[in-house]
Amino acid sequence: MTTKKLSDYAYYRTGGQCSALYEPHTIEELSKTLKDLGKAKTPFFILGGGTNSLVWDEFYPGAVIIFSNMKSIQRVGDSLVCGAGVDNTTIAQRARDGSLAGVSWMNRLPGQIGATVRMNARCYGSEISQVVSSVKAVLPDGTIKHYTPADKIFKGYKDTLFMDNGAVIAEATLSLAPGDQNVISDHMRFCEDDRMKKGQFVYPTCGCVFKNNYAVGVPSGMLLDRANANALNQPTVALNPQHSNFVYNKGAGSADILKFTLEMQELVYKEFGVWMEYEMEILGQLKPELQKRVKEIRSNQIVEEKIAPLRSTFQKNNNKMKPET
């Protein structure tokens, strides 16, 4: 087996070496890979585009699977059939060119459709569950399985069946609707301009580090901002000044980035009594004590007199989100 440096593939530009890197071309090849890894009891993880992940810098004694060769995209009627490795922006552009509405919000959304479906991504008032009509995936034992929304694959925001059963998404079919190409293009420009204004492409990030707790009613970015989390900034790792739930990698290693985010989490809990759970996935082999800390969940002890004004402000600003049509 040859070693690969994962920082060459990960969007966040972290990651050490692994024992083997697999780049399947078809769902059958992916199935065989998973079967072989299972028989050999070889640990593995899926990297994809690595846009929602912090890949650990220490050597990973297992395999990594990426989808650089599964980027086919075909139009069938008003649907797009997409391989797991198709970039979100490519899908938005293909839909626009075909005057299909429903995915303009994915323009400049970092990542690949496999992970977008797996995590039920949401932004700009839309969610991928709204357009997915079928999914082809491979179970950890190599079994190929076909899913539809009737299988209750989408349970909520950042909560899907695939996150529970370990199935690896190989293909997703998106059912769209005929739309006005000019309207679609306008919304794509809006999404791109908004991301640019928020500085999301200045340095590598992994997107939002923490999930939003909708029961709290205040997004994690606002909590971090009002807790003055930017005081934690260091020369090599720092908050995005326009979006405090995005952490810039300005030359840091994975351990420093993780330590920084743990400090963010503690700060918000101390200030507002809100425990933010990780949206960022950590790929690699952490030491048991660090893994335990990352997985820790504390009950909320909400400081209502501090949260209530933020909730009101957020609700007033929330109507500024521009819809596609």
pLDDT in tens, the chain (325 residues): 445 689 999 999 999 999 999 999 999 999 999 999 999 999 999 998 889 999 999 999 999 999 999 999 999 999 999 999 999 999 999 999 999 999 999 999 999 999 999 999 999 999 999 999 999 999 999 999 999 999 999 998 889 999 999 999 999 999 999 999 999 999 999 999 999 999 999 999 999 999 998 889 999 999 999 999 999 999 999 999 999 999 999 999 999 999 999 999 999 999 999 999 999 999 999 999 999 999 999 999 999 999 999 999 998 877 554 444 3
Query: What is the dotted CATH code of the domain comprising 73-197?
Result: 3.30.465.10
H or E segment at 64? Answer: strand 60-65
Determine contact, residues 210/219, Cβ cutoff 8 Å. Answer: no
Residue 138 — left, alpha, or beta (φ > 0 → left; ψ -120 to 50 → alpha)?
beta
Name the class of domain 4-65.
alpha beta
Domain ranges of the chain: 4-65, 73-197, 220-318
Q: Which residue has the tokens 């972290």?
A: 14
Q: Which CATH number fits domain 220-318: 3.90.78.10, 3.30.300.20, 3.30.450.20, 3.40.630.30?
A: 3.90.78.10
Q: Which residue has the tokens 């930017």?
A: 230
pLDDT in tens, 20-50: 999 999 999 999 999 999 999 999 999 988 8
pLDDT in tens, 218-238: 999 999 999 999 999 999 999
Determine contact, residues 213/19, Cβ cutoff 8 Å. Answer: no
Determine contact, residues 3/17, Cβ cutoff 8 Å. Answer: yes
